[in-house]
Amino acid sequence: MQVIWVPEQSAYANSYIYGTILVDAGVSPMAIQPYKDEIETIVLTHCHFDHTARVKEIAFMCKAKVAIHKNDARGLVDDTQSLSMNFGARSPGIVPDIVLAESDIIGELKVLHTPGHTPGSICLFSERDHALISGDTVFSDGCFGRYDFPGGSRMELARSLNRLSLLEVEGLYPGHGEPVETGGSRHIAAALGLMKSGYG
């Protein structure tokens, strides 16, 4: 199945559409409008405002349910956890319809709990397509997400990168920057190597 990239706008994050799933909701509703009749669920990779800013409007437009990992659910109402004040805004102020946990299946995607950037950061993996939608855990330039925000942990992020390095990944679809459609495992290995080198 094709992963549709909806590029990040300004300081906000990429979104992706995979079947009936929209991953992350920082882009404008207008960018999602062409797909509104297909989207049934919005999955948030974590609670930071650049990934959640438009979730309320998009969920209403698409009549979609909202899902987030249980450890980040509070960030949808907590301005400190969501970092919304850094954007001169407030948290979305919603309660998720679905609270996710490790190994849940949503659509055709498997939830991988990958803490470190936030306590409830997740990646979404298609075993069939070897595609990983990685949020801010790992990027396609061989880097990884920050761990100096509230709830972040370098140790947890290192464990998460190590776990992802064991997957067979072709397409890597990160929260920021451009995705790659082949060789995703190489980018993850580079990020893990950077982490082990002591960078950051």
Give the homologous superfamily in CATH for domain 3-196: Ribonuclease Z/Hydroxyacylglutathione hydrolase-like (3.60.15.10)
d(CA 28, CA 55): 9
d(CA 102, CA 69): 8
Torsion angle in degrees (nearest 10) through CA of 132, 104, 151, 179:
10
pLDDT in tens, the chain (200 residues): 899 999 988 889 999 999 999 999 999 999 999 999 999 999 999 999 999 999 999 999 999 999 999 999 999 999 999 999 999 999 999 999 999 999 999 999 999 999 999 999 999 999 999 999 999 999 999 999 999 999 999 999 999 999 999 999 999 999 999 999 999 999 999 999 999 998 76
Res 11: pLDDT: 82
Give tens-digit pLDDT for 20-33: 999 999 999 999 99
pTM higher than 0.95, yes or no? yes
